[in-house]
Amino acid sequence: MTVLFADVVHSMDIAAVVGAERLREIMTDLFKRSALIVERYGGTVDKFTGDGIMALFGAPVALEDHAARACRAALDIQAAVRVLAADVERRDGTSFQLRIGLNSGRVIAGEIGSGPLSYTAVGAQVGLAQRMESVAPAGGVMISDSTARLVDTIAMLGETELVHIKGASEPIPARRLLGMAIGRRSRRAETNFVGRQPEMGALRSALDASVRGDGRVVGVVGPAGIGKSRVVREITSLARSSAVEVFATYCESHTTDVPFYAISELLRAVLGAEGFEGAEARARVRQRLSHAEPEDLVLLDDLLDIADPAVTPPEIDPDARLGRLTAIATTALLGRATPTLYVIEDVHWIDGSSESMLAEFVSAVPEAQSLVLLAYRPEYDGILAHASRSQTIVLEPLDDSHMSTLSAELLGKDPSTGALADVVVKRAGGNPFFAEEIVRDFSERDVLIGGRGCYLCVDPVAEESVPSTLQAVIAARIDRLNPAAKRTLNAAAVIGSRFDDQTLTALGIDSALADLIRAELIDQTSFSPRSEYAFRHPLIRAVAYESQLKSDRAQLHRRLAGILEQSDQNAALIAEHLDAAGDLHVVYDWPRRA
Ligand SMILES: Nc1ncnc2c1ncn2[C@@H]1O[C@H](COP(=O)(O)OP(=O)(O)OP(=O)(O)O)[C@@H](O)[C@H]1O
Ligand SMILES: [Mg+2]
């Protein structure tokens, strides 16, 4: 369980300036916003203390990733406070800030019933959370050692500080929470960001402009592995730290023909329905779209895959339906009152209906407090690449000096690696992902021993021994896997860029996920409610997909279609797998969404 404790900085002073009544109004606003955020991450607000908030994650409902949820909630609350503070500053001329502290610990089973939590059951944990709060910087989040240990692979943390706390004789360790990994991949073991100053400058000014209400649409374009997602991640964390809310959606290579795939993920997030199902999800959508026509909402439920089985969707022709959905989606996306960053990743794989809906939205963005980032490879030439009043940033290969910095960081400082560093720079041709893969290849071939950033070169190699394309390096690395690991990777590639253990087991795969994580081909992205994994990079999945025997792959697709059918999944996705298996002629109950 993780306890979140938040408190307003110098609330007495604020009361003196604005008066008790106005302070109460501000606090009510703060409580409302915070309660929504806490709830969004599955926590419960335990109580509102005089000028603070206490919330619990992982109790009374057990949540394995309670610490991560609490961290995300804490950061979102601080972002919400920054918005609120701007308003207070303008109206009341006083500053308004919050400190937040987090602490994680065990709760003795049986002490927490279903009713309101008893303070005593969690007293000790609350005490430390409160102390963390007291040493947090204004506007910041401080977490205890026990919380830090649970999130250190997915959070950006400050150095461990020893803090002196009232009433304790010894100083205790604490760390600043600076940010959380976003999107699908964890931030684990990411190299320092090199170069890209002009591009980042352009993105920063687009972000600033959008915050001022001068909305922008920017395409980030370049070949696989050049750094589009990385640039997007850098600007995203900047946005988050300036209280800009971020919503992202990821297109996938196997969902290009799955209608509404990309837009539904984005809408679910924007409408606060992410992670919720059925009635609960529908209620959340209706709360956000209180002025929408009931019939449009039914269409939207269907798109979001949260339709009420008891309600028959209205009979209308596909064009009219798309038109109405576009209108409601645009309203939902533009209807946000605070600065927002929308990220559409891997647009080269977008499905047609999402593309046309997003095109409509994008054309209205210049009037909104929004920045839309579209990341895609140069082969994409669809309507989103030609949106009017949009700007395109082309990522060129990194220059040799930046590549040297990068390879030196990957290899480390030992003089024995000097010659290899040159090979990496030469072969990678300015592609940072290529550089990373070459180093991994060296390490697997035992040319290098040690670990990232601290290698020793024990067997100098000729440049010629490095495959000349990124694909070939990845193929060589996959080839080196043991049979069980290879089977797991192949099956995962058929499932998609994200996959879980259960689906692999259902496919009859005795999964060797640990080997794949060790080989840095995949990452674990979620631990609960079930274990989820993701390919490190889309190219790894592509190579794993392409390199397997067609007949084996067809069989996997066929079995997967069967599994998805049983769990009543998206019909278009099932059709997609049958198609890939060469089985689409099988009489099939054609998707309701076609
Ligand atoms: N400027 C940079 N400095 C350091 N590392 C970088 C930089 N740009 C990219 N990288 C690293 O290179 C790898 C590939 O980058 P990224 O995933 O952003 O490529 P991409 O352009 O999005 O590729 P794709 O089209 O396949 O999605 C990542 O591990 C990333 O962290
Ligand atoms: Mg990418």
Domain ranges of the chain: 2-180, 197-394, 400-478
Q: What is the pLDDT of residue 113?
A: 47
Q: Which atom of ligand 1 is nearest to the CA of 190?
A: 31
- Specify the pTM: 0.68
- How many residues in the chain? 594
| 377 CA to centre of ligand 2 in angstroms | 9
Q: How confident is the model at residue 109 (pLDDT cuts 50, 70, 90)?
A: very low
Q: Which two tokens stand for residue 216?
A: 């922008």
Distance 365 CA to ligand 1 centre (A): 27
> Is the Cβ–Cβ distance between 520 and 554 less than 8 Å?
no
Atom of ligand 1 nearest to the CA of 377: 25
Mean pLDDT of 563-581: 83
What lies within 8 Å, CB to CB, of 97 at 6+ separation is: 8, 9, 81, 85, 138, 139
Q: Atom 4 of ligand 1 has which residue's CA nearest to it?
A: 193
How far does residue 346's CA lie from ligand 2's centre (Å)?
6
Average pLDDT, the chain: 86
CATH topology identical between 2-180 and 197-394: no
14-33 pLDDT, tens digit per residue, is 888 998 889 889 988 899 88
pLDDT band at 116 (very low <50, low <70, confident <90, very high): very low
**Mean pLDDT score, 352-365:** 92
Shortest-distance ligand to the CA of residue 222: 1
Give, using CA atoms, the residue closest to atom 3 of ligand 1. 193
Task: Quickly state the pLDDT bin for 584 (edges 50, 70, 90).
Answer: low
Mean pLDDT score, 430-454: 87
Write the class of the CATH domain 197-394.
alpha beta
E strands in 351-451 = 370-376, 391-394, 448-451
Ligand nearest to the backbone CA of 536: 1
Which residues lie closer than 8 Å to 201 by C-beta, 6 or more apart?
A: none
- CA distances to 176, 280, 519, 546, 563 from 505, rounded to whole Å, are 39, 30, 21, 22, 11
> Are 183 and 240 a contacting pair, CB within 8 Å?
no
Which ligand is nearest the CA of 223, by number? 1
Q: Is 65 helix (H, G, I), strand (E, B) or coil?
A: coil
The mean pLDDT value for 532-540 works out to 89
In ligand 1, the atom with minimum distance to the C-alpha of 406 is 4
Kindly list the protein residues whose Cβ atom lies closer than 6 A to any atom of ligand 1.
Answer: 190-191, 193-196, 222, 224-230, 346, 377, 406, 432-433, 436, 537-539
pLDDT > 70 fraction of the chain, expressed in percent and rounded? 91
Ligand 1 atom at shortest distance from the alpha carbon of 232: 18
Question: CA separation (Å) from 421 to 242, 412, 436, 456?
Answer: 37, 10, 11, 12
Region 183-210 average pLDDT: 82
d(CA 494, ligand 2 centre) in Å: 19
User: In 377-452, which ranges are E strands?
Assistant: 391-394, 448-451
pLDDT score at 133: 94
Burial 408-426 (b: 16+ CB within 10 A, else e): bbbbbeeeebeebbebbbe
Please report which helix (H) or strand (E) contains residue 179, including its range. Answer: strand 172-180
- What CATH code would you report for 2-180? 3.30.70.1230
- pLDDT band for position 48 (cuts 50, 70, 90): low
Nearest-angstrom CA–CA distance, 474 and 439: 11
Label each residue of 480-529 as H, E or C: CCCHHHHHHHHHHHHHCCEEEHHHHHHCCCCCCHHHHHHCCCEEEEECCC
Q: Ligand 1, residues 433, 436, 536: which to mutate, most atoms within 8 A of Cβ? A: 433
Residue 537 has pLDDT above 60, yes or no: yes
Report which bound ligand comes closest to the CA of 376: 1
Spacing, Cα 395 to ligand 1 middle (Å): 11
Closest-CA residue, ligand 1 atom 8, reads 227
For residue 181, name the pLDDT band (cuts at 50, 70, 90).
low
What mean pLDDT is predicted for residues 396-416?
91
User: Tens of pLDDT along 526-535?
Assistant: 765 567 899 9
Give 438's Cβ-side CA count (13 Å radius): 33
Confidence (pLDDT) at 529: 59
Q: How many CA atoms lie within 13 A of 403 on its CB side?
A: 25
Site to substitute for ligand 1 among 185, 229, 425, most atoms within 8 A of C-beta: 229
Distance, CA 357 to ligand 1 centroid (Å)? 28
CA–centroid distance, 408 to ligand 2, in Å, is 23
For residue 504, the model assigns a pLDDT of 93
Confidence (pLDDT) at 221:
96
Closest ligand to residue 406's CA = 1
**Ligand 2: centre distance to CA 229 (Å):** 4
Looking at ligand 1, which residue's alpha carbon is closest to its atom 16? Answer: 227
For residues 241 and 237, give the distance between their C-alpha atoms in angstroms, rounded to a whole number: 6
Give the mean pLDDT of 216-245. 92
Q: What is the per-residue pLDDT for 589?
A: 46
Give residue 262's pLDDT: 92
249, 283, 291, 319 from 307: Cα distances, Å: 21, 11, 19, 20
